[in-house]
């Protein structure tokens, strides 16, 4: 009897336990996914890479900030809803120009800051003065250098800001005068360094040039974009809600955008599959081919205005010889790197400026894989069959993907040119320092364009430019570039820039390898999020449709 | 006892300031400079930034300023998270790391001690071998493997918990289990070894000879002593857990201290790195002191001496 009771108790306990698990399973699996709830509430959940350092458009430098700024701030020109790379009305309703040099912007009559105060041309004046004041130490101040006297004011050569090429004609008319014709100015104005910042909010928390005050905190931040910052929990989420004072508030379809910082790409992918994100920032490299083939409903890739290349130290022998550099360039099989190693739709770079970098600009088709010609050039440079060629290093910053590419290039150079190459990796800080001090032979690099014009890539290679870091300089190149900055005819300007780029590529201080592609996942219910070379997002055009 | 505490307190303060000094010097000696960016900054911008964060002063002046700031609780600003002081960041991350660490420690003890004890009491049996195998697997499994496995199984497949993030009240469960299981393996091995050693000692034989029953021997005499190495391990382990496990926090996307710690090293955010190192030192010092006091209480042969 007691034994039977004991068994009964055990059986009951077991039933109770299993029942508990079944109940728990039922309850937990029937809770709504975050994405479902957010879709119902009209909130877009965006994976956003790392935590933003600041939400001050004049002090920010990174991609995560760039994505947030497109929701909460707006420049004179904004990404157009039908094509984010095209120029749509933003804080300015329309604009005209004289010879691409004097630009007049009519501001939105209904333009307001998120606290209801009107956005006026004085706000732009204040903003440009702020970013150009050396005391603020804004990394991106040089983005404003095309403006007349902006550089002189920033570097302290000019003390009087009224001499800088920006004028408030009346509260709703702003005039920007440039140092030379720049047809690409509207595209440049979409970069956050040109965005207006609210004087009244900034000066409530400190002086104009005080760095890092509390004006960017939720509750203090006043902005002029379609959304307004509602909360900022560090390393958790930046939440924005619809801005009722936005001039085009009726077109805004979402109720808010939440940016979630997720550094690890595998964690981000899992969060997406778990229904926690509508949109990822990236995808683990190894997973891209699988998604491309099997999940066309989620997977997207789009070209970026960004180039992966190698710098060559032209101050070092034997790399001071253009023939040697050209031979190195011609012995890289870019097609094979893109097809067999990268496998995410990257395009082999035949030149430096990526396709689409300026409407009507044709990137020179110079970089080709031609091992026979490469050997011939090396022969002419005095290294027949690679004989006596000194051993040299390809410098990379520590990263598996860079290593794989470097090893591929290493084996191509060994195979086709029979020259001894090693791969050397350094920690990020040391690597940057080695590049700057020209303490390398060949080194990996990347460049992201800031606006749609070849000059965002070509200005780097002027003699002595702070970002050149190859030791290369050419009077002809400098002259062509200067000429392009004075040229008022867009077609002629492009011809000049093309000539400059061709000349530079033939000299090969850099070896372009591929043009980047961004691969990411997006929930099928998200509509209106269109591809952009500059990763510009027009959030007001985004909506949910099931 | 008071003299002991006072002396340890003073030693602790010296250790903490030594950690701040050493971390500071190592960071200042590291190559690359404090403001790393792929785009070259203009000399004017760089100079102004150096001035803002105090990098323009001579190293001894900088160090002295740091020590004074820490001594007066006026903490510096992070170089990466603009406008946030380092204590603000630690205060935001620490509760999350603690919310993961405390259940993890509890779980590690609840699994580790009984498992180790069971194995020690039945040496070389199937149970012993099985528990040793489990412990070895636990020690060898890195959290970067166990974490994703649990996230995929209980998050993506069964959908019991969120696979990542810090949004729901239940988001501590999977990270705590990940950490707890791994730590329980260490504790099980420590308990087994130490209990077996204790059981072989003479005072246990004496107790048996006096006719004490097995339960009394194990629970009143042996386990108390066998816990000492476990306690020794728990001090630093608890400090490590509380300052956050970077891998687990990354796998589960938790905004805890561990993520800030590693991010500060990667971004070269020297102020934050110094602050978290100092905070870690504070925890280690406090936990070691607690362990010493507990040990004296558990083992009458240990006397606390200043």
What backbone torsions phi and psi does residue B183 show, to the nearest 5 degrees? -70, -35
pTM: 0.91
Of A29, A34, A234, the CB nearest to B92: A234
Q: Which of A429, A446, A459, A467 to mutate to test the interface with B (most CBs of B within 10 A)?
A: A429
How near does any CA of chain B get to the CA of A126, in Å? Answer: 19
Which tokens go with A289?
Answer: 């081919």
What pLDDT digit, counting tens, does each position of B268-306 carry? Answer: 889 999 999 999 999 989 988 888 888 888 777 766 665
Answer yes or no: are the C-beta atoms of B93 and B257 closer than 8 Å. Answer: yes
Cβ distance of B252 and A267 shorter than 8 Å: yes
**How close does chain B come to A234, measured CA to CA in Å?**
7
Q: Which of residues 267-306 of B touch A (CB under 8 A)?
A: 268
Alpha helices (H) in A136-178, listed in sequence order: 150-154
Interface test with B, best of A140, A193, A267 (most B CBs within 10 A): A267
More confident residue, B113 or B225: B113
The predicted structure's pLDDT at residue A423: 95
- Compute the average pLDDT of residues B161-187: 90
Q: How far apart are CA A273 and CA A269, in angstroms?
A: 6
Tell the CATH superfamily of the B100-256 domain: MetI-like (1.10.3720.10)
DSSP state of A117: P
The Cα–Cα gap between A258 and A213 comes to 23
Place of tokens 């157009």: A80
User: Are residues A298 and A291 in contact, defined by beta-carbon separation less than 8 angstroms?
Assistant: yes
Taking contacts as CB-CB distances below 8 angstroms, the residues of chain A near B253 are 260, 262, 264, 267, 271
User: Nearest CA of chain A to the CA of B123: how many Å?
Assistant: 29
Question: Cα–Cα distances in Å, from B260 out to A60, A239, B88, B144, B238?
Answer: 19, 20, 12, 18, 18
Which of B82, B148, B252 lies closest to A53 in CB terms? B82
A326: nearest Cα among A66, A145, A507:
A507
Using N-to-C axis directions, what is the helix angle for B86-121 and B257-266, rounded to 10°? 120
Q: For chain B, what percent of residues have pLDDT higher than 70?
A: 98
At A67, is the secondary structure helix, strand, or coil? helix
Chain B residue numbers touching A139 (CB-CB < 8 A): 37, 39, 41, 45
Of the candidates A28, A260, A429, which has its C-beta nearest B36's C-beta? Answer: A429
User: Are B31 and A433 in contact (CB < 8 Å)?
Assistant: yes
Query: Is-contact A198 A123, C-beta < 8 A?
Result: yes
A28 in contact with B, Cβ within 8 Å: yes
Chain A interface includes B82 (CB < 8 A)? yes
**Burial grade of A116 (CB within 10 A; 0-12, 13-18, 19 or more):** exposed
Tens-level pLDDT at each residue, chain A (546 residues)? 788 888 999 999 999 999 999 999 999 888 888 999 999 999 999 999 989 999 999 999 889 999 999 999 999 999 999 999 999 999 999 999 999 999 999 999 999 999 999 999 999 999 999 999 999 999 999 999 999 999 999 999 999 999 999 999 999 999 999 999 999 999 999 999 999 999 999 999 999 999 889 999 999 999 999 999 999 999 899 999 999 999 999 999 999 999 999 988 999 999 999 999 999 999 988 899 899 989 999 999 999 999 999 999 999 999 999 999 999 999 999 999 999 998 888 999 999 999 998 888 999 998 999 999 999 999 999 999 999 999 999 999 988 889 999 999 999 999 999 999 999 999 888 898 899 999 999 999 999 999 999 999 999 999 989 899 999 999 999 999 999 999 989 999 999 999 999 999 999 999 999 999 999 999 999 999 999 999 999 999 999 987
B91 in reach of chain A (CB within 8 A): no
- In this complex, do B48 and A467 lie within 8 Å of one another by their Cβ atoms? no
B29 CB near a chain A CB, below 8 Å? Answer: no
Question: Using the beta-carbon criterion (under 8 Å), do B45 and A211 form an inter-chain contact?
Answer: no
B77 touches chain A (CB under 8 A): yes
Give the contacts of A492 (CB within 8 A, at least 6 positions apart): none
Q: State which residue of chain B sits closest to A215, comparing Cα positions.
A: B83
Q: Which residues pair with A300 in a beta bridge?
A: A520
The C-alpha R_g of chain A, in whole angstroms, comes to: 27
Out of A181-195, A393-407, B7-21, B111-125, which region has the weakest mean confidence (pLDDT)? B111-125
CA distance A408 to chain B (A): 24
Q: Do A433 and B151 touch (CB under 8 A)?
A: no
A:30-49 residues touching chain B, CB 8 A cutoff: 34
Cβ contact, residue pair B48, A137, below 8 Å: yes
Give the integer Cα–Cα distance in Å for A50 and B254. 13
Q: Do B156 and A432 touch (CB under 8 A)?
A: no
Q: What pLDDT, on the 0 to 100 scale, is given for residue B305?
A: 60
Question: What's the gap in Å between the CA of A97 and the closest CA on chain B?
Answer: 30
Residue B143 has pLDDT above 90, yes or no: no
Cβ under 8 Å to B: A residues 185-244:
211-214, 216-217, 233-236
CA–CA gap between residue B244 and residue B247 (Å, rounded): 9
DSSP readout, chain B?
-HHHHHHHHHHHHHHHHHHHHHHHHHHHHSTT-S---SSPPPHHHHHHHHHHTTTTS-HHHHHHHHHHHHHTT---B-SSSTT-BHHHHHHHHHHHHHHHHHHHHHHHHHHHHHHHHHHHHSTTSHHHHHHHHHHHHHHHS-HHHHHHHHIIIIIIIS-SS-SS-S-STTTTHHHHHHHHHHHHHHHHHHHHHHHHHHHTSHHHHHHHHTT--HHHIIIIIIHHHHHHHHHHHHHHHHHHHHT--HHHHHHTT--SHHHHHHHHHHTT-HHHHHHHHHHHHHHHHHHHHHHHHHHHHH-TT-----
Structure tokens at A6: 């004991």
pLDDT band for B239, please (50, 70, 90 cuts).
Answer: confident
List, in order, residues 6 or more apart from A232 with CB less than 8 Å away: A55, A217, A218, A238, A239
CB contact under 8 A, A29 and B42: no
Residue B217 has pLDDT above 80, yes or no: yes
Distance of alpha carbon B110 from the chain centroid: 18
Asked if A212 contacts A54 with a C-beta cutoff of 8 angstroms, the reply is yes
Tell me, what's the pLDDT at B49? 87
Tokens of A47: 């994976």
Report the SS3 class of residue A249.
helix
- Chain B residue nearest residue A233, CA to CA: B92
A233 to chain B: which residues are within 8 Å by CB? 92, 255
Interface test with A, best of B39, B148, B251, B266 (most A CBs within 10 A): B39
Helices (H), A346-461: 371-380, 400-417, 428-436, 455-458
Compare CB distances from A212 to B32, B82, B266 and report the shortest one's residue. Answer: B82
Closest residue to A212, CB basis, from B83, B163, B259: B83
**pLDDT by residue (tens digit) across B29-65?**
887 677 777 778 888 888 888 888 888 899 999 999 9
DSSP secondary structure string for all residues of A376-391: HHHHHTT-GGGTTPPP
Cβ contact A516:A289 at 8 Å: no
Provide the b/e sequence for B91-127 (b: ≥16 CB within 10 Å): ebbbebbbbbbebbbebbbebbbebbbbbbbeeeeee
Q: Are A78 and A89 in contact (CB under 8 A)?
A: yes
Out of B83, B152, B159, the one facing A213 most closely (by C-beta) is B83
Residues 6+ apart with CB under 8 A from B73: B87
Is A367 in contact with A351 (CB distance < 8 Å)?
yes
Q: Is B161 on the interface with A (CB under 8 A)?
A: yes
């Amino acid at each position: 009897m007691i034994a039977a009771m004991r068994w009964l108790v055990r059986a009951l306990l077991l039933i109770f336990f299993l029942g508990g698990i079944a109940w728990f399973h039922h309850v937990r699996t029937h809770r709504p996914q975050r994405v479902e709830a957010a879709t119902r509430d009209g909130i877009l959940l965006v994976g956003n890479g790392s935590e933003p350092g600041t939400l001050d458009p004049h002090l920010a430098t990174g991609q995560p900030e760039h994505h947030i700024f497109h929701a909460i701030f707006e420049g004179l020109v904004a990404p157009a809803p039908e094509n984010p790379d095209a120029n749509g009305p933003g804080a300015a309703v329309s604009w005209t120009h004289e010879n691409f040099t004097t630009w007049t912007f009519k501001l939105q009559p209904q333009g307001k800051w998120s606290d209801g105060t009107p956005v006026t041309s004085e706000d732009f004046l204040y903003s440009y003065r702020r970013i150009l004041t050396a005391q603020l130490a804004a990394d991106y101040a040089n983005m404003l250098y095309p403006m007349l006297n902006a550089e002189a004011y920033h570097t302290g050569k000019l003390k009087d800001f009224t001499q800088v090429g920006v004028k408030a004609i009346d509260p709703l008319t702003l005039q920007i005068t440039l140092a030379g014709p720049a047809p690409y100015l509207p595209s440049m104005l979409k970069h956050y360094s040109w965005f207006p910042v609210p004087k009244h909010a900034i000066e409530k928390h400190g002086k104009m040039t005080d760095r890092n005050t509390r004006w960017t905190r939720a509750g203090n931040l006043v902005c002029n974009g379609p959304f307004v910052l509602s909360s900022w929990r560090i390393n958790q989420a930046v939440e924005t809600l619809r801005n009722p004072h936005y001039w085009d508030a009726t077109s805004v379809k979402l109720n808010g955008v939440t940016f979630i910082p997720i550094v690890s790409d595998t964690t981000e992918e899992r969060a997406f599959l778990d229904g926690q994100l509508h949109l990822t920032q990236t995808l683990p490299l190894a997973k891209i081919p699988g998604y491309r083939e099997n999940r066309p409903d989620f997977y997207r890739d789009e070209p970026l205005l960004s180039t992966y290349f190698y710098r060559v130290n032209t101050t070092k022998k034997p790399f001071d010889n253009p023939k040697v550099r050209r031979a190195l360039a011609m012995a890289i099989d870019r097609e094979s790197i893109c097809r067999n190693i990268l496998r995410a739709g990257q395009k082999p770079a035949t030149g430096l400026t990526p396709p689409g970098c300026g409407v009507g600009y044709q990137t020179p088709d110079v970089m080709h894989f031609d091992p026979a010609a490469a050997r011939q050039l090396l022969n002419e440079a005095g290294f027949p069959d690679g004989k006596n060629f000194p051993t040299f290093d390809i410098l990379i910053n520590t990263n598996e993907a860079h290593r794989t590419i470097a090893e591929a290039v290493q084996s191509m150079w060994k195979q086709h040119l029979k020259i001894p190459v090693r791969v050397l990796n350094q920690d990020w800080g040391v690597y940057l320092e080695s590049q700057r001090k020209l303490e390398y032979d060949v080194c990996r690099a990347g460049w992201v364009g800031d606006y749609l014009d070849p000059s965002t890539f070509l200005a780097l290679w002027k003699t002595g430019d702070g970002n050149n870091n190859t030791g290369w300089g050419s009077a002809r190149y400098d002259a062509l570039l200067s000429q392009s900055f004075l040229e008022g005819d867009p077609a002629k300007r492009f011809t000049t820039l093309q000539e400059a780029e061709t000349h530079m590529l033939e000299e090969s201080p850099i070896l372009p390898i591929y043009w980047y592609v961004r691969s990411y996942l997006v929930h099928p219910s998200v509509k209106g999020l269109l591809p952009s070379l500059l990763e510009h997002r027009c959030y007001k055009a985004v909506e949910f449709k099931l | 006892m008071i003299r002991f505490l006072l002396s340890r307190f003073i030693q602790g303060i010296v250790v903490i300031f030594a950690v701040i000094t050493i971390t500071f010097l190592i960071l200042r000696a590291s190559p690359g400079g404090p403001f790393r960016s792929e785009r070259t900054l203009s000399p004017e911008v760089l100079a102004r930034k150096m001035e803002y964060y105090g990098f323009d002063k001579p190293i001894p002046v900088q160090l002295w300023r740091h020590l004074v700031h820490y001594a007066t609780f006026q903490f510096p600003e992070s170089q990466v998270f603009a406008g946030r002081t380092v204590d603000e960041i630690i205060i935001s991350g620490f509760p999350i790391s603690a919310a993961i660490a405390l259940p993890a420690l509890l779980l590690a003890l609840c699994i580790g001690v009984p498992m180790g004890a069971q194995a020690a009491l039945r040496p070389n049996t199937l149970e012993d071998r099985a528990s040793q195998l489990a412990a070895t697997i636990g020690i060898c499994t890195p959290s970067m493997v166990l974490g994703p496995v649990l996230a995929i199984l209980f998050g993506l497949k069964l959908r019991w918990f969120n696979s990542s993030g810090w949004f729901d009240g239940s988001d501590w469960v999977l990270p705590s289990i990940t950490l707890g299981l791994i730590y329980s393996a260490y504790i099980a091995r420590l308990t087994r070894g130490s209990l077996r050693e204790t059981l072989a000692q003479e005072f246990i034989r004496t107790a048996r000879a006096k006719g004490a029953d097995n339960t009394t021997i194990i629970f009143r005499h042996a386990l108390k002593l066998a816990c000492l190495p476990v306690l020794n391990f728990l001090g630093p382990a608890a400090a490590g857990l509380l300052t956050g496990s970077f891998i687990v926090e990354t796998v589960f996307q938790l905004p805890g201290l561990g993520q800030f710690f590693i991010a500060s090293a990667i971004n070269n955010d020297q102020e934050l790195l110094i602050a978290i190192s100092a905070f870690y030192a504070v925890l280690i010092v406090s936990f070691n002191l607690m362990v010493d006091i507990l040990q004296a209480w558990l083992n009458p042969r240990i006397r606390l001496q200043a």
